[in-house]
Amino acid sequence: MIGVETVAVFYSILALVANAAVVAVVVLVAAGRRERLRDGLGGSVLPAAFVVATLATLGSLYFSEVAHFEPCRLCWYQRIAMYPLVIILGIAAWRGDARVRRYVVPLAAIGALIAGYHYALEWLPWLDSGVCSASTPCTLVWFREFGFVSLPYLALSAFLFILALVALAPVPASDDREDPLPRRPS
């Protein structure tokens, strides 16, 4: 059986790879290469975002259900933002629907903000605004790989990578598809 330490290292390495990819996307977009990058990646960004969301969800379930790391309140909020992304991005990847960004961006951005705050709490516990309980404090660090990668860092990395991937999804030619549920005239 694979141990918790091995899984933590594996996910930490994935987070660092995701961080490098996000930095590369930001640099290339800043250098004016967004369209070239978008053309090069083609239709693979939505399936990739689906894989990232799926791996993040499986990781969170592993750490709580197998490793028995009890999630704090901020962990639950991050899960609330991540878990639906698996379904939303899975359907979007299957259908090739880049219009999904209007649903993915708010969820991933909110998740990233919560994860960023949670990560900051681990280093600066005095920032706690009383959001977490005494029985499961948000300041509890279950592991810290490479001296800085923890559970909230993993979540933050996943949310940012999903945002970067969705930003590279091809822009639909027209957003005026026929609505399957026509509106009644006012």
pLDDT tens profile 153-186: 999 999 999 999 999 988 766 654 554 545 455 5
pLDDT value for 47: 96
Does residue 177 lie in a domain region? no
Does residue 184 lie in a domain region? no
pLDDT value for 185: 57
Whole-structure pTM over 0.85, yes or no? yes
Does residue 110 lie in a domain region? yes
pLDDT value for 49: 97
Q: What is the CA radius of gyration of the chain?
A: 18
Does residue 175 lie in a domain region? no
Does residue 70 lie in a domain region? yes
pLDDT value for 179: 46
Low-confidence ranges of the chain (pLDDT < 50): 176, 179, 181, 183
Neighbours of 146 (CB within 10 A): 11
Does residue 45 lie in a domain region? yes
Q: Structural domain tally of the chain? A: 1
pLDDT value for 174: 60
Structural domain range at position 30 = 4-167
pLDDT value for 98: 86
Does residue 28 lie in a domain region? yes
pLDDT value for 184: 53
Does residue 157 lie in a domain region? yes
pLDDT value for 181: 47
